[in-house]
Amino acid sequence: MANPLLRTVAPPDAALIAAWRDGDERAAAELVERHARPLARFLAGAGAPETDVDDLVQETFIRAFRSVDRFRGQCQFRTWLMTIGGNVLKDFGRRAARRKVVPLDEGVRDRAGDPHDHAEASETEEMLSAGLQRLPRLQREVFLLRAQQGLEYDEIAAALGTTPGAARVHYHHAVRRLKEIVK
């Protein structure tokens, strides 16, 4: 009979990161399983087309694991991942622009998929999503980290290399502009 304690107590991210640094692939897989969905939500909220979210999530994890030595615990691993995801998405937008694909800044939203799903999406949600694409990148990311991911300003500031006060200002600017756009 399995020990229930072993099943319920998950190793902290720091332990998995240390294990990955020692070459443990299972630790890397565990980190992906733990953080992939919140990262996907963040990327989709920041404008990633739904059809590309899987690729962008993978690319984010690849970059994170290959540069994991730069992560010094200044913020949560998940928050750090999201900042890398922001860079991955930015690069994706540049490549898309070069290929003359619909650019991110014009509010890339996936229009593929089940039309019924789209019909169910509320109009205001769509407007908010479109409004987010019109914000400067920093405001958009601060807004998502705060409103979507529920992070504190201290955590956001540590991840983005700014101060909590500045993060708060970015958030309020984002909210103000979104109110203007969505009203």
Partner 1 sequence: MNEERMEQLAKRLGARAAERLDVGQTARQVVERLREPAPRSTWIQPAWLRIAAALVIVVGGAVLYRFTPGHRPVVSQHAAHFVADDLSGLSADDLRDVLSSFDEILSTDSAPASDSTDWRELDSQQLREVLRALEGEG
Q: Supply the DSSP symbol for 159.
A: H
DSSP string, 92-135: HHHHHHHTTPPPGGGT-----S-HHHHHHS-HHHHHHHHHHHTS
Mask for 121-150, x = binds partner 1 (CB under 8 A): -x-xx--xx--x----------xx--xx-x
Which lies closer to partner 1 via its Cβ, residue 3 or residue 116?
116
Residues 85-114 interacting with partner 1 (rule: CB under 8 A): 110
Residue among 16, 17, 28, 167 that touches partner 1 (CB under 8 A): 28
Applying CB under 8 A, the span of 6-14, 58-66, 99-107, 159-167 interacting with partner 1 comes to 58-66
Told to check if 68 binds partner 1 by CB under 8 A, we report no
Nearer to partner 1, 110 or 154 (CB): 110
Residue 141 and residue 86 in contact, taking contact as beta carbons nearer than 8 Å: yes
Helix/strand/coil (H/E/C) assignment for every residue in 42-84: HHHHCCCCHHHHHHHHHHHHHHHHHCHHHCCCCCCHHHHHHHH
Assign residue 75 a region (left: φ > 0; alpha: ψ between -120 and 50; beta: otherwise).
beta
Which chain residues interact with partner 1 by CB under 8 A? Answer: 25, 28-30, 32-33, 36-38, 40-45, 48, 50, 53-54, 57-58, 61-62, 65-66, 110, 117, 122, 124-125, 128-129, 132, 143-144, 147-148, 150, 175, 178-179, 182-183
